[in-house]
Amino acid sequence: MRDKILAILEKNARIDPKDLASLIGEQEEEVRKEIERLEDEGIICGYHTMVNWSKTDLEKADAFIEVKVTPQRGVGFDQIAERIWQYPEVTSIYLISGNFDFAVFIQGKSMREVAMFVSEKLSTIDGVLSTSTQFILKKYKEQGTVIEAPKKDERILVS
Amino acid sequence: MRDPLNSFIEAIPPSGIRKFFDIVSEMKDAISLGVGEPDFDTPWHVREEGIYSLEKGKTFYTSNAGLKELRTEIGAFMKRHYDLSYDPEGEIIVTVGGSEAIDICFRAMLEKGDEVIIPEPCFVSYKPCAILAGATPVTIPLQEKNHFRLTPEELLSHITDRTKLLFISYPNNPTGAVMEREDLEKIAEIVIEKDLYVLSDEIYSELSYTGKPHVSIASLPGMRDRTIVVNGFSKAFAMTGWRLGYACGPKRVMEQMLKIHQFAIMCAPTTSQYAAVEAMRNGDEDIAEMRESYDQRRRYLLDTFAEMGVPCFPAQGAFYLFPCIKQFGMSSEEFATKLLEEQKVAVVPGSAFGDSGEGFLRISYAYSLRDLKKAMEKIRLFVDGLREKEGK
């Protein structure tokens, strides 16, 4: 039941537990309890709405920043990562393999704001050696979802 | 001017689905639960192979029976999924959809005076194709109480000296019925005893929700050489528009089917065949994913109809439910038409699939949960409205 619930919720976090129960052939009460357990265990970490900000009047600027750091004795990368994720501008941070150590995603109100954040906050953190900023110009697909107008059903109505 | 037409063809009534389609197309912003094809796109890796084949200029005819590579993969698929063994040389033909396979099979096997038994409700093309082949279709009205499975008694009571072929199609369009091994064994026994052949349209074979793999009647003892199995890519791989199916059976029959195919069609579309090779090789996971999704929606709809108080037998295959609307005292067509007029939801009247479909509706769940919810809410409103009127 667990795997099925997760598979469905991952794609549709807003589904009514009653419908979810129906889809997988379980009792609604059982499903509610299982979701609660998944939340308690931290397997479900949160629910998130994907917003295509470019279709709104609000200005947003997204950037992907590669960060090179010096790992610290005893705590490795984790302490620097924590320093970085504390900033509300940071939407995601990953430890990565390759030429850089962290991939950091930042969202700000404007490109200028993001650039200022990188030069004034991120680069000045102890242990950060260098950064490389890439502004995101257009989002095509995020979290498995293609970001464009919803696809029209072109099938003939009755067949 | 002389009459340009064959009176025989003129006498065949048009498809009941078609008739309803014409009504629905007139209606703007109708929500449809009427489609008979998957809502998924063809998996990308399959489409990509089609594209590559075009890029490489593979735009010529294939051999009449289809690409050798594809026939080999079909053979492997039939073995892997249904434990059926067919020789790619002579026992497998790639056709333009399952529809063509059925047509050429009827034409290769039947002649004037032959009777072909067709259990109803069933897809709309079988009876006309049998008539076009010159044969006489004998329909069996299947019963909801038997979950629309063909019973040995029903079969026996329709066999005459002229019966040559039994046509079956499970999982079934429009009922969603399946027949399991035990059910098929009883039918096979009669087929062998009465020396009949079987044409088994198994186009929905991968969409079975019994928890057990689909059983082909051809895999039962003594049945392989009496059965022509028709299958295809449309439903399992969401490839309806590619128009690709196949037929497998004993060489003697396939040879004659190939002759018709060769004269009428030449070969199935080449691009589709290349894409299909990829589907057969690496598509099992796609099938499993889509099957799970259909199964979820099936359960959701069964629960929703139960809540509405509209009885619906627990169909276990294809992507259709066949709820019974007899309690409302209307014909299927009246019900479907009123539902369309009042709530703008299109469903196909069960009567389009044969007289025994009267009193039922075909509901397709090849739609997103969101669309299904919207449509079911409207059906609920409609049903509530009918009950209110009755109350007054």
Q: Do B132 and B248 have their domain in common?
A: yes
Cβ contact (<8 Å) for A153 and B39? yes
- Please report the pLDDT score of residue B392 as a whole number: 60
Alpha-carbon Rg for chain A, nearest whole angstrom, is 20
Q: Which domain holds residue B265?
A: 60-283
Residue in A12, A23, A158 nearest the CB of B32: A158
Supply A34's token pair: 């299982």
Q: B300 vs A19: CB contact, 8 Å cut-off?
A: yes
* A22 and A87 part of one domain: no
Q: Are residues A115 and A75 in the same domain?
A: yes
Residues of A in contact with B36 (CB under 8 A): 159
| One domain for residues A11 and A65 | no
Same domain assignment for residues A58 and A133:
yes
Helices (H), B83-141: 97-109, 126-132
How many residues comprise chain A?
A: 159
Supply the CATH number for residue A104's domain. 3.30.70.920
Within this chain, do residues A96 and A21 fall inside the same structural domain, yes or no? no
Contact B392, B64 (CB under 8 A): no
Whether the CB of A45 is below 8 Å from some CB of chain B: the reply is no
pLDDT tens digits, B68-86: 999 999 999 999 999 999 9
Whether B44 and B361 have beta carbons less than 8 Å apart is answered as no
Number of A/B CB contacts below 8 angstroms equals: 48
Residue A45 domain-assigned (yes or no): no
The answer on B277 and B360 residing in a single domain is no
| Domain end (from B216, B248, B283) | B283
Judge: A19–B373 Cβ closer than 8 Å, yes or no: yes
Could you report how far apart the first and last alpha carbons of chain A are, in Å?
A: 35
The distance of Cα B160 from the centroid of its chain, to the nearest Å, equals: 26
Together in a domain, B120 and B261: yes
Distance from CA of B275 to the nearest CA of A (A): 21
- Domain finish residue from B232, B266, B283: B283
Measured between alpha carbons, how far is B178 from B181 in angstroms, rounded to an integer?
A: 10
Q: What is the pLDDT of residue B19?
A: 77
Q: What tokens does B180 get?
A: 């399991």
Asked if the structure places residue A89 within a domain, the reply is yes
* Residue B175 pLDDT: 98
Quick check: is B260 in a domain?
A: yes
Which pair of tokens denotes residue B195? 């020396």
* A102, A125: one domain: yes
Positive/negative CA dihedral, B244, B248, B253, B254 = positive
Beta carbons within 10 angstroms of residue B301's beta carbon: 26
Q: How would you class A49 by CB atoms within 10 Å of its CB: exposed for 0-12, middle for 13-18, buried for 19 or more?
A: exposed
Between chains, do A156 and B35 touch, taking CB under 8 Å as contact?
Answer: yes
A12/B contact by beta carbon, under 8 A: yes
Q: Give A23 to chain B, closest Cα distance, Å.
A: 4
Paired tokens of B237: 């791989």
Q: What average pLDDT score do residues B100-107 get?
A: 98
Is the same domain home to A95 and A36?
Answer: no
Does B87 share its domain with B133? yes
* Cα B30 to Cα B14: distance, rounded to the nearest angstrom: 23
- Spatial contact of B84 and B103, defined as CB atoms under 8 Å apart: no
Q: What is the pLDDT along chain A (159 residues), one digit of tens a residue?
A: 999 999 999 999 999 999 999 999 999 999 999 999 999 999 999 998 999 998 999 999 999 999 999 988 878 899 999 999 999 999 999 999 999 999 999 999 999 999 999 999 999 999 999 999 999 999 999 988 888 877 888 898 888
Task: Flag whether B356 is in a domain.
Answer: yes
Residue of B nearest to A155 (CA): B35
Q: Give the model's pLDDT for residue A21.
A: 97
pLDDT value of residue B128: 95
Distance CA B223, CA A104 (A): 63
> Do A89 and A125 belong together in one domain?
yes
Is residue A15 domain-resident?
yes
Range from A82-86, B15-19, B272-276, B376-380 carrying the lowest mean pLDDT: B15-19
- Smallest CA-to-CA distance from B17 within B332, B265, B254 is with B332
> Taking CB atoms and an 8 Å limit, are A24 and B296 in contact across chains?
yes
When pLDDT is averaged across residues B198-208 and rounded to a whole number, the result is: 98
Q: What is the pLDDT of residue B186?
A: 98
Segments in B42-110 forming alpha helices (H) = 44-55, 68-82, 97-109
Q: Under an 8 A CB cutoff, do B303 and A22 touch? A: yes
Which residues on chain B place their C-beta less than 8 Å from a C-beta of chain A?
17, 20-21, 24-25, 30, 32, 34-37, 39, 296-297, 299-300, 303-304, 346, 348, 369, 371, 373
Residue-wise pLDDT tens digits, B272-299: 999 999 999 999 999 999 999 999 999 9
In this structure, the answer to whether residues A27 and A65 fall within a common structural domain is: no
Show which of B258, B283, B308 is a domain's final residue: B283
Q: Determine phi and psi for A150, rounding to 5 degrees.
A: -55, 140
A146 in a structural domain: no
Q: Are residues A34 and A60 in the same domain?
A: no
Which of residues B92 and A55 earns the better pLDDT score? B92
Residues B154 and B212 in one domain: yes
Within a domain: B50: no
State whether B187 and B232 are in the same domain: yes
Of A22, A23, A155, the CB nearest to B37: A155
Residue A18: domain span: 2-40
Residues of A in contact with B371 (CB under 8 A): 153
Nearest to B17 among A25, A153, A159 (CB): A159
Task: Mark whether B192 and B296 lie in a shared domain.
Answer: no
Number of domains in chain A: 2
Residue in B closest to A21 by C-alpha: B300
Please give the backbone phi and psi of residue A12, each rounded to the nearest 5 degrees, phi first.
Answer: -145, 85
How many CB atoms are closer than 10 A to CB B77?
20
Q: Same domain for B302 and B366?
A: yes
- Interface mutation target, options B99, B293, B303, chain A, most CBs of A under 10 Å: B303
Q: Which residues of B touch A156 (CB under 8 A)?
A: 21, 35
B170-194 pLDDT tens trace:
999 999 999 999 999 999 999 999 9
B47 within a domain of the structure (yes/no): no
The CB density around residue A42, as the number of other CB atoms within 10 Å, is 8
Q: Can you tell me the distance from the alpha carbon of B258 to that of B253, in angstroms, rounded to the nearest whole number?
A: 9
Could you tell me if residue A16 is inside a domain? yes
A145 in a domain, yes or no? Answer: no
Asked if B263 and B331 sit in the same domain, the reply is no
Take residue B31 and report the two structure tokens written for it: 């929500």
Rounded distance, CA B376 to CA A123, Å? 56
Phi-psi region of B327 (alpha: psi -120 to 50; beta: other; left: phi over 0): alpha
B184 and B92 assigned to the same domain: yes
B138/B101 same-domain check: yes
Q: Which residues pair with B208 in a beta bridge?
A: B317
Say which CATH number the domain at B349 has: 3.90.1150.10
The pLDDT tens digits for B214-273 are 999 999 999 999 999 999 999 999 999 999 999 999 999 999 999 999 999 999 999 999
Do B76 and B222 share a structural domain? yes
Rg (CA), chain B: 21
Residue A157 belongs to a domain: no
Same domain for A70 and A26:
no
**Is B147 contained in some domain?**
yes
Q: Which residues pair with A130 in a beta bridge?
A: A68
CATH classification at residue B78: 3.40.640.10
Instruction: Please give the tally of structural domains in chain B.
Output: 2
Do A36 and A57 share a domain, yes or no?
no
Structure tokens belonging to residue B123:
């897809």
- Nearest Cα to Cα of residue B171 among B130, B129, B231: B231
Range B161-170 burial, b when 16+ CB lie within 10 A, else e: eebbbbbbbb
Burial class (CB in 10 A: 0-12, 13-18, 19+), B3: exposed
Would residue B1 count as lying in a domain? no
Q: In chain A, what residues touch B353 (CB-CB under 8 Å)?
A: none
